[in-house]
Every structure is written in C-alpha cells, then in structure tokens.
Structure 1
C-alpha cells in the first residue's frame, strides 16, 4: 500500500521546468565537461609523449611509448576514478551530496595543474611516473563527480523531465571531449603555425622541436579552468530535499531550502518525516536480504551493462587515433613533426566528436522521457553491435585506399549510438531506481563497474590491437585491430542481453520507483520489455 508523499518531495515532482533546473544542469554539467576533458585529453598527447621522451638518436622512426607505459598513462586515471566512485558515492550518502561535492572539484583542479607540471629532471621514467601519480588522483576526484552529480540532478528534477535533465548533465561529457580536441588544435597551431608536415626520416631530434614539451603540459593543465569556474556556484547550491528529509531527517531545513528554490511556500512535515524514515522500507541496508530481494537484480543490471559499455566506449575513444593510423587516415609519424601530429590527431577526434558524439548525447536528452531508458539502451547496444561487426568482418576492405571515408562514417555511427544509447542511460538509471539513503552509493558501485570496464578497455585493447606479425615492405595493417573490433562487437551484444535486468523508470517519482513509498510489493520488477509507464496522483500535500 502506497504511503502519502511528503509535500516538499511532491512539489519537486510536479514542479514546472524553471530557471533553477537549468542552473543545476550547468553547474553539475560543467563538472562532467571537466571530467571528459581530463579523461580523454591524454589520448591526444600520448604519441607526443613517446616522441619527446622515447625517441632514440640515430633511429629512423620517431619514438613511441612502450605498450606497458602507454597502458599506464591511458589507464591510471581510470583506476583513480573507480576508487573515487566507490569512496565518494558512499560518502555522499553519509555526509550529504553538497558537502562532498566541493571536495571532488578541488581535487580535480589541483591535480589537473599538477599533471601538466610533472617533473623528473629530464628522466623520462620519472616524468611519466609523476604524470601517472597525479592522474590517478585526478581520476579519484573525477570519480566522485559521477554519483554526486547524477544524484543531485535526479533529486532536484521533476518526474516528467527528470531523465532529460540527468542526461543533459551527462551530455556535457560530449562537449568536454570536443573541447579537448579544440584546445589541442589551438595549442598545436600556436606552436607550429606553418601547418606543414616536413619529412624527417633520419634526424628525428629536429622532428620534435623543444616547444613540444609545452604543448602536452598546456593541454593537460587547461582542464583545471572549467572546474575552478564552477566551484563557487556548487557551494551555493542547497542540499537536496530528499537527502535532507529522508536521510538527515530534517524536515524543516528541507522545506526551507525548497521553498527558496521553487519560490513557493512548503510546510515542514516533521512528524511525517519521522514516521516515514522509521518504516521498514526505509531502513534496510545495502547488504541486507531485503535489498537483495528488492534491488539485487537491478544492481546486477546496472553494473554489468555499464561494465560492458565502458569496455567498448573507452577503447574506441582512447585508441581511435591508432585505428585511424592503421587504416591510413592519419599519416605515418615519420612524415610530420611532433606538434603537427598532435594537430592531425586532434582534428580527427574533434570531427568524430562534432559529427557523432555530441549529437548522440542530445538525441538522448530529447527522447529519453518519450521512449524510455530501456528502449534507448537496448537500441544503442544493438546498433553498436551491428556497426562493430560491419567494421571488423570486412576490415581489410576498409584499409584499402578510397575506403577510408566509409570506415570513418561507420566508426562515427558507433559513437552516435553509444551516446544515443547505453553511455547515457547507464548514467541515468542508477540515479533513479535506488532508495535515497543508498542512491549515491549504488550509483558509485555501478559507475565503478563501468570504470573497471574502461580499465579492461584501456589495457586490453592496447595489447589486443598489437600486430602479431611484422608488416611486409610497404604499409600493410595487421590482424590485431580487426580482432579487437570483433571482441568489442561481442561485448556490445552481451550488453544488450543484460539490459533486460534493468527496470524502466520513466514518468514515476523516485520514491515510487525505489519502493520508499510502498511496503507491500516488489517495486520495479515488472517485465521491462513492456516499458510500463506509471504515475501517481499529484497531491497538493
């Protein structure tokens, strides 16, 4: 039997879209802009790091990072992110969303700057080790932003457009990826303003000018700017009413905060808050049988789908430069200087982000509350599977001259359907389907599973894509990339299968979805393929 909703929560559920919604989207979204910029800008400069620190005098080809070093540089931030998601997700439920929100941002600002200032007395190993150290802690701060931003936005939003608001926060990740490419283009252009690709076959020290060392540092440090700009506004946001009322049990503060935000008079229902928070449906813990009965399959669904999605998504993003080089879209390193290579890589990744990544995110924003989370996620995984196999099976066809554009178009479509699909919905759903006192924790666990997938992608794809045989005279791509694409296709198919464990949450209040308003039935367990749409009567309190 459903219990009566608190007036302050009902006011949030039925509120019309107002200015504070857009303010919250921008404040939380700028964190995700920074997250994406910091996580993906490293892929723009990894080849540059190899040319600066691993070029050997007298060798014919420019230096490259050894596979183990490249894997560490690309993957260490994900290790930090995974840890941060678990820690800050748990802390957000213990101390409150707002109190922890500022800590993550400070950590991101400090470590972005420190990454660019990596030192080591001209010892490549020391510089790379220092870079990896600071990027781990940068990832730790980024990890906290995932559960906190998602939870704050879900608890601020109304039930009619909640999915769009949470997805809009996450969509800023697309602009962060795009921003990283644009910054890299501008910085590389500023240091190599001739825009020429001189051929240095023997004298590789000249092909890597001294200014190259400034390029990667500036690109990494720029990530501190958007995070620093939003710190003040994050600290001005009040704590969410759902945390204040249902977890902190402070009905008066929740009513006061939301009266100011919504600009309406809301009554403080102290007796009702006390009664609600003592109900059995609001007292079981994460490791209890009751949680396993109500939400165990849900947590399995959110963790597995996010894990599988991130294997594919981060493999594609971090190593698209290697794939484009393999098919010949980006020229060989020995045909251009180091700074110009950064420009070429950044231009390719910016084009992909502009044409497919960013539009995919905003398609989700526009359609998620119309066709539902389940449908978008299933559709996204399906098309990612189709396009991966379409790239992998006839892979050598795409490497022929004249077929590169077709490959890039197909590859772009995998990004589009990742973002108009599971990359967005795996972020949205965990912020909606779990109880308020466990919401941030469960989102952190789900997100951490995703980052475990990203680590598998960052380390696994690097080794899977290695050519097992030396190419013949002239350029002839090996079998490594083809095999890696086939594996990613299988991973996407498995993601489609596990999507059936995830409930549809469209159009319902957070308390109805999580069961905080219902003691007698198993919530959210109806067949998801029916995409059940339920609403509760709108109460005036």
Structure 2
C-alpha cells in the first residue's frame, strides 16, 4: 500500500477507475464530479487557498519587525524574554489552529471553519500592530508576543480548512492542470506573502527615513490585515466542495482505529517530511535579515538590510512558479524528491564557500546563491508536501489528516527557529565562518533524508488521486464491516432513508 512506485500503481488505479465507470452502461455508485467552466471552477480554488498568503506575510514580516525593534530598543529588546520567542510564538498558535480547525473542518464545515479562522487572523493581527503596555517597552514586547500566538491560531485554520477545500475544489478543473492550480493558490501564495512581507518593511523604512522605528514595525504588521479582509468577502459566497458533500463523516462516528490502520504509516511519513522542510524553510526565512545585518554590521541602514532581504525572498517565486507545472508532469512525489536533492547540493556548496561569498563587496553573489537554495526548497517540498498531504487520504478524514501533518510541520518550524541560534553557536561566535556554515550543513543533510523518505515510503499521486483514494478507502471500510452508506449523510438523515428502505421493510431498528 505505502511502498508502491508509479508503474506498479497505475494498473490498480485503472482498475478502480473502470469499476467506478461501468462500460455496460450501468450507473456507477459514485458518478464523476461534473467539470465546470474554468472561471466558475477556479474561483473557489483561489478563495479557499489564497489565505495562505497571510501565513507567508505574517510569518516573514516578524523577522523585519524583530530587526527594527533591535535597532530601536537595543539591549532592552535583546535582553528581554520576548526576543527569543516573538518570532516563533506564532508557530505554536498555528499548531493549535491546525489541530482544532482540522477537526472542525471535518466534523462541522469547511467554509464555516475558513470564515472563523479569517476573522481571528484579522482581529489579532490588528491588535499586534497596536501593541502597547503603559509606555513600558518590555510589557509591550510581551503583549506583542501574546497577540502573535492568537494570530498563529488564525493562520493555522487556513491549512486544514483552506488547503483541503482547495484540493477538493481543484477536482472540478481540467485534468492535467489540477496540481499546478492547487500549488499556485496555496504554496505560491505563501511565497508571495514572504516576498511582500520582506518588501513592505523596506518601503515603510524608506518612507520613514530609517529613523521612525515605531512607525516602521507597526505599519508593517498592520498591513497584514488588508488581504484577509478582502478574502473574507470572497469567502462569504463559498459553498462546501462537492467531494466533501459526498464523502464527509461529519454526521457519523468516525472509525478512527480503521483510519489509523489504513493511513497511520503514511501520515507519519508525510508529517516527518513536512517537519524537515519547515525546520529549514522558516528558520532561514526569518533569520535572513539578521544574516544580512551581520554581513553589513549593525550600523547599516534598515533599507539596505530590508532591500537585500527582499531580493533573497524574490527567489522563492521562480521555485514555486516554475515548479507548479512540473508537479503535473512528474507528479508531486518525484518533483519533491528532485527539489530536495538539488537543494542539498546547493546547501553543501553554500556551506563550503560561505567565507568567500559572505563579504559586503560580493553580497549580490551571496543573495543569488542563498536565493537559489531557498528556491529549490519551494520547487520541491514547498510546492508538493501540502499537495501530498491533501491527496494521500480520503475526504472523510482529510481535514484532520492534513491538520496533523501541517501541525507537525509547524512544530518543525518552531523547533527550527528556536534551535537555529544554537546550531550557529555550535560553530563558534558570530565572527567565525562556521557560525553561519553549520545551518547549511544541517539543512542540506536533512534534504537528503526527506528525499529518501518520499522515494521509499510514499505512493505516486496522479490527477484523479482524490477520487481514487476515496474508492480505496471505501473498499477498505467495507472489507472491515463498516457501512459506507454513512458517508455523506446530512444532519438528521439515516442510512435507511437514503437507501429508500424503511425500518419496517427491513424489520430491524437503526
């Protein structure tokens, strides 16, 4: 089940597809979802997935905010408890949001969960921008940290509710393009958020002449409310994805023991790969402005540091944009493996040549090589790990499956941001080259591990995998005595009612 490679899996997929569409003209038990006109089919994909832009923006902008606070308050900030956790605390909130909304999206509503998470994101992002505590800087740092935790909860809801709905809605698009559209409206949105999250502080710092630090960080954070507000209006018109309506378990008791038997190992592998990816991606993204500041020194203007940080973050975009169609051609699994291997190679080169390219006079070369390293991460796992998580399980438990995998990934991000300084410290002091080399050695090694896990432990993912996976899960449930007529039951309905058979006719009680 879990170790199949593409050639071995395709015949089975063809058999399942044939079973779902009987050539003799008999009606299949689950007729295919009608393909809608492109514009009608694409907007739910956009509305569901694009909220992850806020994830990229809010998580990346905090790196620039932290740099600005260090410029403004010096040792008052760096010596505070908040300094070590303000960049990472949103990840803890995100984990909570992913787990809670994973359950809500399966047991309540995909669209309802999306709307609630969007409201949480808007409210607490605005509160974070207005952080204040009676003129006490340390108290303000702590308030900012608290609001960032709740911002994380809102972000967390976007993963199981938004991305899962996006994957299910993509099934109504033309075959051969579904992977790319999912990627463009999920991971590409995160990457655009990262770029904008780096660019906005640069623009604000330039407008504030590099001196009005409070204006710079508060405005940069506050702008993060604009996109969720726009998205909230779009989402008011969303309906539940048809796949969810057909195969949900929200009104029946979920057979968790059977789910674990069928998906437990696969969930472990997907979660581990996501942990490894986020461990590197978020730590490097958040600390890129600090790395650049170390190259230029603490006296460099914020616009210089933020400007190069924006250039580095721009390299996310070719990785995700060019990688999206490749995922349709090669499949998410092989594209992920290719990206991880190439990223490992560049990571080892980066570590070996760091002393030569980390000089102020060659900062452009540093930005290019560093950017390629990050771009390959988006080409591979960045684009495809969410796709794998959304399409390697059945619809009835997809929100919880995805939520658990994404939560473990965010734990990886939290751990990465937290241990990144310790990995650097293992190389000596900030004046030592090894201080900056060690993270690249660690990240490149982990890339190879993730590639091996994907190659040996995950199945091939095709264009119709969501539909086929539902069929496979139905067969497994039926073989274990679970009545699959319960899938898609509405509130108040019973199996007898949807079967058109009364209790009296069957002579049994439900």
TM-score higher than 0.5 = yes
- Cα pair 1:174 1:361 within 8 Å, conserved: yes
Q: Secondary structure at the match of 1:420?
A: helix
- Cα pair 2:204 2:220 within 8 Å, conserved: yes
Residues 238 and 128 of structure 1, relative CA distance in 2, 3 Å threshold = same
C-alpha deviation, 1:213, in angstroms: 0.9
1:187 paired to 2:187? no
User: Structure 1 CA distance, aligned partners of 2:376 and 2:170?
Assistant: 25
User: Structure 1 CA distance, aligned partners of 2:429 and 2:463?
Assistant: 56
User: Structure 1 CA distance, aligned partners of 2:39 and 2:293?
Assistant: 46
User: Structure 2 CA distance, aligned partners of 1:295 and 1:149?
Assistant: 21
1:439 paired to 2:394? no
C-alpha deviation, 1:83, in angstroms: 1.0
Equivalent position of 1:217 in the other structure: 218
Equivalent position of 2:494 in the other structure: none
Equivalent position of 1:176 in the other structure: 193
- Cα pair 2:94 2:154 within 8 Å, conserved: yes
User: Structure 1 CA distance, aligned partners of 2:144 and 2:79?
Assistant: 16
- Cα pair 2:106 2:249 within 8 Å, conserved: no
Q: Secondary structure at the match of 1:333?
A: coil
Equivalent position of 1:376 in the other structure: 335
- CA deviations on 1:370-407 (whole Å, 9 max, x unpaired) are 11111110011111111111111333233356544333
Equivalent position of 1:43 in the other structure: 63
Q: Secondary structure at the match of 1:237?
A: coil
1:229 paired to 2:230? yes
Equivalent position of 1:317 in the other structure: 285
1:297 paired to 2:265? yes
Q: Secondary structure at the match of 2:462?
A: coil
- Cα pair 2:177 2:325 within 8 Å, conserved: no
- Cα pair 1:155 1:242 within 8 Å, conserved: yes
Equivalent position of 1:90 in the other structure: 103
Residues 391 and 237 of structure 1, relative CA distance in 2, 3 Å threshold = same
Q: Secondary structure at the match of 2:132?
A: coil
C-alpha deviation, 1:232, in angstroms: 1.9
User: Structure 2 CA distance, aligned partners of 1:119 and 1:15?
Assistant: 52
1:351 paired to 2:367? no
RMSD, aligned CA: 2.7
How do 1:41-120 residues align onto structure 2 when only pairs under 5 Å count? Answer: 41-55=61-75, 65-66=78-79, 69-120=82-133
How do 1:238-253 residues align onto structure 2 when only pairs under 5 Å count? Answer: 238-247=239-248
- Cα pair 2:249 2:396 within 8 Å, conserved: no
Equivalent position of 1:126 in the other structure: 139
Equivalent position of 2:458 in the other structure: 502
C-alpha deviation, 1:494, in angstroms: 1.4
Equivalent position of 2:24 in the other structure: none
Structure 1 gaps, min length 5: 56-62, 196-208, 251-276, 278-282, 524-541
Structure 2 gaps, min length 5: 1-14, 22-26, 480-510
1:493 to 426, 448, 467: 448
- Cα pair 1:45 1:216 within 8 Å, conserved: yes
C-alpha deviation, 1:17, in angstroms: 5.4
Q: Secondary structure at the match of 2:459?
A: coil
